[in-house]
Chain A
Amino acid sequence: MARFTLTIVTAESQVFSEEADSLVAPGIEGQLGILPNHAPLMTQLQPGEMTVRVGNDEVVMAVAGGFMEVLNNRVTILADTAELDTEIDLERAEAALERARQRVESRPADIDFARASQAFRRAQIRVTVARRRGRRRSPVMPSDSTPGATA
């Protein structure tokens, strides 16, 4: 079956680069699914959850916004930040969420408020993604998955 090459990079490092079967990403105008042979697309991403399917494995990530380009079965994601669910420390993420909540509730001035609520949203997503990890059935850790291993 056809696959596409998925590359996820942040300014600090390359997070993911593998052949993938499908991708669900948080586009600015709603969740969008990418399958092989997708039409050329350039979209902004909003903070959200991203799911990559490679064979029977699923990789879940929290992204804090960015851009996605789809061209000739190559998908490139320029993420502001991207973390695998397995990399997120749930306790620390929850603590960060609590701090973000307090900051939003303290009602700072306009610009700070916008920034604080954005930070709150990002923290929320990280916690959601990290919590869900515990409930997923896949016995295989995503980081161990190699393309073709299950094909």
Chain B
Amino acid sequence: MPSTRELRRRIRSVGNTAKITRAMQMIAASKMRRAQEAVVEGRPYSEHINSVLSHLAALERGSDDTSVPLLEARDVKTTGIVLVAPDRGLAGGLVSNLTRVVERAIGELDSPVTVVAVGRKGRDFTLRTGNDLKAVFQDMGDNPSIEDTRAISNIIIEEFESAGVDQVLLAYSRFVNTAIQTPVIDTLIPVTPAELSGDEAVGFIYEPSPIEVLGQLLPRYIEMEIYHAILEAIASEHSARMVAMKNATDAANDLIDDLTLQLNKARQEAITSEMLDIVGGVEALG
């Protein structure tokens, strides 16, 4: 049985831990709300660019004299992966769930892999598994603008166009709801626009020309996809952290209850034995 002093010390220490985890939980909750809003606000752009892209791609398929590199499926000799993971841990199983899926995907590929890591945890994973690390982006903050993500898409588009990689995958944690974040891996390049239903294909006037518009639009599309993935990843990170910290706070409070019970028992025992001592002493005198 630990002494009452030892028990008091542990209760205080666990209480301090609970205070920290509780604060982290509340910070994560407010950041999560903002991140979710950002995801929702970016959605109209992503819907519109998808529909515009479908129109253009339908046209590009119609004419076979020109080809746009970013739409072109090549034999895959090297695969690029844009891995979007958090900078920090303490987010429950979020990072390990993501890296498990990525590791499996890498195992299934026949080609060597080049990783562009967004977030420190993505970098750590790449180095630990011994994969080629092309670039690292970290400290994006909780509220990145699309400008911040432009450098990422530039690197990856350049790699693809210079045939450094023949396809590009995008891996991140999709935010489903507060309790569920699913790791997903999408093909980013070559871009596969959604098919149009027949009557939607109308004769547009294009300025300057369809191919040029498409050539300008595709990098924007890739930027937007990466930006969107980062927003999803941020929302996932904060909700995972919120849940993890809530569990930690609850566990700490349970522990405090147990320790308090032990403390009270120890205190009563001490009192009882002191009284027995006194009574014994009085009897011996009498």
Contacts and interface: CB of A to CB of B under 8 A. Distances in A.
A146 interface: no
B220 A78 contact: yes
Nearest to B203: A40
Contacts of A96: none
> Top 3 closest A-B pairs, CB basis?
A43-B207, A11-B146, A13-B41
A5 interface: no
B56 A14 contact: no
B207 A67 contact: no
Interface residues of A, number: 22
Contacts of A40: 202-205
A11 B217 CA distance: 13
Contact of A44 (B45, B145, B208): B208
> Interface size class for chain B?
20 to 34
Interface in B218-258: 220, 223-224, 227
B84 to A, nearest CB: 16
A114 interface: no
Interface in A16-51: 27-29, 39-44
B216 interface: yes
Interface in B144-178: 145-146
A95 interface: no
A11 B45 contact: yes
A77 to B, nearest CB: 9
Contact of A9 (B48, B56, B223): B48
Interface string A66-91: 01010100001010100000000000
A12 interface: yes
Contacts of B45: 9-12, 14, 78
Given A9-B45, A44-B212, A67 B224 contact: no
B53 to A, nearest CB: 10
B207 A28 contact: yes
B205 A39 contact: yes
A100 B220 CA distance: 24
Contacts of B205: 39-43
B49 interface: yes
A138 B56 CA distance: 40
Contact of B42 (A11, A29, A39): A11
A67 B41 contact: no
A27 B49 CA distance: 18
Given A11-B223, A11-B227, A78-B220, A42 B206 contact: yes
A110 B42 CA distance: 33
Nearest to A69: B52
A145 interface: no
Contact of B213 (A7, A10, A42): A42
Contacts of A11: 42, 45-46, 146, 223-224, 227
A43 B206 contact: yes
Given A76-B52, A78-B48, A12 B213 contact: no
A80 B227 CA distance: 13
Contacts of B220: 67, 78, 80
A138 B63 CA distance: 49
A71 B56 contact: no
A88 B166 CA distance: 43
Given A42-B207, A43-B207, A9 B44 contact: yes
Contact of A14 (B44, B202, B223): B44
A80 B145 CA distance: 11
A40 B217 CA distance: 18
Given A11-B227, A12-B42, A44-B208, 19 more contacts: A7-B44, A7-B48, A11-B146, A13-B41, A13-B42, A29-B208, A42-B52, A42-B205, A42-B206, A42-B210, A44-B207, A44-B216, A69-B55, A71-B202, A76-B52, A78-B45, A78-B49, A78-B52, A80-B146
Interface string B32-74: 0000001001101110110010011000000000000000000
